[in-house]
Copies of this chain bind each other. A is one copy, B any other.
Amino acid sequence: MKYAIGIDLGGTDIKAGIINTNGKILFTKSISTDALSGSEKVILNIKKLIAECLEFSKKEKIKISGIGLGSPGLVDDQKGIIIGGAINISEWKNIRLANILKKEFKLNTYLDNDVNMVVLGEYFFGAGKNTTNCVCITLGTGIGGGIIIDKKLYRGSFGFAGEIGHISIIYEGLKCNCGGIGCLEAYAGKNAFIEKAKMAIKKGFATSILKAVENDLTKITPKIICDEARNGDHLSKMIVQDIARYIGAALASVINILNPEIIIIGGGISHAGDLLLDPIKDSIKKFALDLSIKNLKIVQAKLGNNAGIFGSCAKVFSKK
């Protein structure tokens, strides 16, 4: 049995955990990122959290094999360098973070992009266990994803593969934040949820969303819409279904291209469960080739908020 420390760095919190090769969590802890206090403070917080993990491991006489860390933005996973692009953490660029942590703790340290870590987590310890070709989509503020091909994370020729949120589903559609046109993210990202609700409310549709946000439309979130949909609110259900259909259309293209054996739906709103999954499946059936979906499984992610920690540990284990 081996043990690793996994760190999931986010714009709000840093989460850490110790996990063994069987996928058992032995310890977790999370602290605030202090994301706006600059990179030195963030590194200090990461170190503090790792120190606590090591303290626990010492007490329990567990030998830690290494540290894995998932960071938002661009990460050079080979060299263990934070390149940049994480808009929620200030000064978070050009940091040889793997080296810094290795020096401090005398443990092999591996970095990767946070979405990649989630995908690795679900693949090695969650819904993707024991599959060969697997696609994972993460539904959140943005829409990300990752592809496992032949039991390995597929990164593409230059490291940017898996951008499922930027599949164009409407040729003359909405302009996306990425600069593209008609991207799934523009139709099913956080803003799409919120805008759909706001528009309907302004048009006078009756909905329990209003009560949930105490008539303050700026408080609407995808989570609230999903919650109200689960409570039976008609408008919320319509919104979730509309968005699920867009997601299904994009996934159908991924399926027609990659013919995987499993699609894993993860990220914040995936907790809506069948409410979201059922219309996604219907939409996939409508858009994908019959042969390509014949043996396909479409499942909800299993590891929830801990997927990043699991993946960071999986990364360590896969290096041994």
Contacts and interface: CB of A to CB of B under 8 A. Distances in A.
Contacts of A294: 158
A289 B132 CA distance: 27
A234 interface: no
Number of copies: 2
A90 to B, nearest CB: 22
A150 B147 CA distance: 14
A181 B287 contact: yes
Nearest to A147: B257
Interface string A162-180: 1110111111010000111
Interface stretch (A45-53, A91-99, A207-215, A245-253): A245-253
Given A158-B259, A260-B157, A289-B160, A171 B246 contact: yes
A159 interface: yes
A261 interface: yes
A101 B118 CA distance: 49
Q: Which of A131, A132, A157, A164 has the most CB of B within 10 A?
A: A157
Nearest to A162: B257
A167 B167 CA distance: 10
Contacts of A150: 149-150
A295 B180 contact: no
A133 interface: yes
Contacts of A253: 166-168, 253
A82 B284 CA distance: 29
A29 interface: no
B261 A295 contact: no
A291 interface: yes
Contacts of A290: 179
A57 interface: no
A256 interface: yes
Interface in A243-297: 246, 249, 252-254, 256-261, 286-292, 294-295
Interface of A: 131-133, 147, 149-150, 154-164, 166-171, 173, 178-182, 246, 249, 252-254, 256-261, 286-292, 294-295
Given A156-B292, A159-B259, 19 more contacts: A149-B150, A150-B150, A154-B258, A156-B260, A157-B259, A158-B261, A160-B291, A160-B292, A161-B258, A161-B259, A166-B289, A168-B169, A169-B171, A170-B170, A170-B171, A182-B249, A182-B287, A253-B253, A254-B257
16 contacts: A132-B157, A133-B156, A150-B150, A156-B258, A156-B259, A156-B292, A158-B259, A159-B259, A163-B256, A163-B257, A167-B256, A168-B169, A168-B253, A181-B249, A254-B257, A257-B258
Return the 7 tightest CB-CB contacts between A and B, nearest first.
A156-B259, A157-B261, A161-B259, A163-B256, A167-B253, A160-B259, A166-B256
